[in-house]
Structure 1
Amino acid sequence: MNELFLILLFSLLPALGTFGGGIAAEYININRKNLSLALHVAAGVILALISVELIPQALKASTPWIVILAFVTGGLFFVTIDQLIDFVQGQLGGKKSKTAWAIFFGVAIDSFTDGLLIGTGSLIDLQLGFLAAIGVVSADIPEGFATISAFKEKGIKRKTRIILNFFASVPVLIGALAGYWLLKGQPLIVEYAVLAFTAGVLLTVTAEEIIPESHRNGEARLAALALIGGFALFALISVI
């Protein structure tokens, strides 16, 4: 039970990150270049999480080909979801840029995947679950900000925006519980495969969403250093 409590505590970090980013969007306007820097830091942290922790841990499996296949499947899963969001945005009339609702559903799905990663990682090693939470929260804050900013642009009322912000944040807790209850007691290869699957999702999200978004309205001058700095910061945290 103590293990489950810690997993829920870990998953609160990205949940609060998403919600806090949304609340920040209600009261402040962040310069696009500063947002670009934040997104580059987030990308660096996530890339470090994948390369320093998730993949090395998953490749400890006795049958690494299953892990690699799960990693590729994670990438394909996100591409499929992304295509579905594109279809929805087309139906809503936003073919050139994601509509507010498409962003909302994308963030909610990403939030669930974050929770699945935290729940699965914690079953393998509680420290891994904690590091996963630290890694994903850096991206959840700007994601929450972007979601609520999009709803503000659509003129949706503040009360509704806050409710939607809450529902975009909650899936991480559901994902963590799913990872814990469904995988507890399963063979270690299953846990490693799910870990690799979420790593594939995260890598694809970073390459297809976070980095392109960070360049959408111009790149900050120190963007490359922010990317390297985010990577180095997480690598440092992981060895302390």
Structure 2
Amino acid sequence: MLEFISQFSPAMQALIATLFTWLMTAVGAASVFTAKNFNQKVLDGMLGLAGGVMIAASFWSLLSPAIEMAEASGKIAWIPAAIGFLCGGLFIMLFDKILPHLHPMSPMEQAEGIHPERKRRSTLLVLAITMHNIPEGLAIGVAFGSVAAGYSSASLAGALALAIGIGIQNLPEGVAVSVPLRREGMSRLKSFWYGQLSGMVEPFAAVIGALAVVFVQPLLPYALSFAAGAMIFVVAEEVIPSSHENGNHDLASMAVMIGFTIMMILDVALG
């Protein structure tokens, strides 16, 4: 697998990896074809698992390499990490205030952004997940771009581990969009279409991230940290709270622990 991926450019590597993560979103959305009703406990557990994967990926695959890169280049190691991390969170927060969207499992009255009442529920749900998939795509692109830049703290296996981890957590995101739409009476095909649509942005964001790193290498520690901050904001603002909304607190919390462990093992073993 590594030999096959290594023959491509960083942008193409990022594209291939995010086509996989998009596929995983589609697999999750396809649950509407196999189940009439999706068990809420299972969905909350999957959301918790996704949150744990994202937290672990933010540190092991993004923040830690950013700190090592800054240190190797003679900079004060924590400065790029701190600036990039906070800027990533602020970016998603501002995007959250502007873009009309609706978090999965929330009623229409809780739609956010500018004039959300002018959009259909299906559009708002897709926009919410799409907004959160942007930092995931950027993270994968930056990870592959950092390998091409020749940093010792970056490896192709580590970038692949990040893509696998994000792919795992994309599965419940597809479910979280398609299942509520199906419950409201939308056809299975339309519910699936809107569910998988949310993952379409990741390949575009990944290619942009990879190209940006290749051409502006000094910004790499900031870019990695930016992606980490954006992902952590998403976890804190939506993923974990959504997993607790239905009272399955212990299940969701344990799933976060398991997701973190899975991603940590992937990153350490492959990276």
Measured against the shorter chain, the TM-score band is 0.7 to 0.9
Q: Give the secondary structure class of the aligned counterpart of 1:218.
A: coil
Q: Is the 1:33–1:218 contact (alpha carbons within 8 Å) kept by the matching residues of 2? A: no
Within 5 Å, give how 1:40-189 maps onto structure 2.
Answer: 40-60=48-68, 61=70, 62-63=75-76, 64-85=78-99, 94-96=108-110, 99-125=121-147, 126-187=156-217, 189=218
Residues 24-72 of structure 1 show CA distances to partners (whole Å, capped at 9, x for unaligned) of: 1343132111111111222112111122231111112125423311211
Q: Give the secondary structure class of the aligned counterpart of 1:156.
A: coil
Q: TM-score, normalised by structure 1?
A: 0.87
Q: Give the secondary structure class of the aligned counterpart of 1:57.
A: helix
Structure 1 stretch displaced more, 9-18 or 155-164? 155-164
Q: Is the 1:100–1:150 contact (alpha carbons within 8 Å) kept by the matching residues of 2? A: no
Q: Give the secondary structure class of the aligned counterpart of 2:246.
A: coil
Structure 1 stretch displaced more, 199-208 or 157-166? 157-166
Correspondence for 2:22 among 3, 15, 18: 15
Q: How big is the shift at 1:8?
A: 2.0
User: Using a 3 Å threshold, how does the CA distance of structure 1 residues 88 and 163 change in structure 2: closer, same or farther?
Assistant: closer
Number of equivalent positions: 235
1:231 corresponding residue in structure 2: 260
Gaps of 5+ in 2: 1-6, 113-120, 148-155
Letter in structure 1 aligned against 2:59: S
Q: How big is the shift at 1:220?
A: 5.7
Letter in structure 2 aligned against 1:121: A
Correspondence for 1:201 among 218, 230, 233: 230
Instruction: Give the Cα–Cα distance (whole angstroms) in 1 for the partners of residues 122 and 91 of structure 2.
Output: 22
Structure 1 stretch displaced more, 156-165 or 201-210? 156-165
Structure 1 stretch displaced more, 204-213 or 73-82? 73-82
Q: Give the secondary structure class of the aligned counterpart of 2:30.
A: helix
Correspondence for 2:41 among 26, 33, 36: 33
Q: Is the 2:53–2:262 contact (alpha carbons within 8 Å) kept by the matching residues of 1? A: yes
Instruction: Give the Cα–Cα distance (whole angstroms) in 1 for the partners of residues 44 and 165 of structure 2.
Output: 18
Gaps of 5+ in 1: none
Q: TM-score, normalised by structure 2?
A: 0.78
What is the aligned-residue identity percentage?
25
Structure 1 stretch displaced more, 51-60 or 195-204? 51-60
Q: How big is the shift at 1:196?
A: 0.9
Q: How big is the shift at 1:112?
A: 2.7
Residues 61-107 of structure 1 show CA distances to partners (whole Å, capped at 9, x for unaligned) of: 1254233112111111111222234x556xxx922367432221021
Structure 1 stretch displaced more, 22-31 or 216-225? 216-225
Letter in structure 2 aligned against 1:112: I
Q: Give the secondary structure class of the aligned counterpart of 1:95.
A: helix
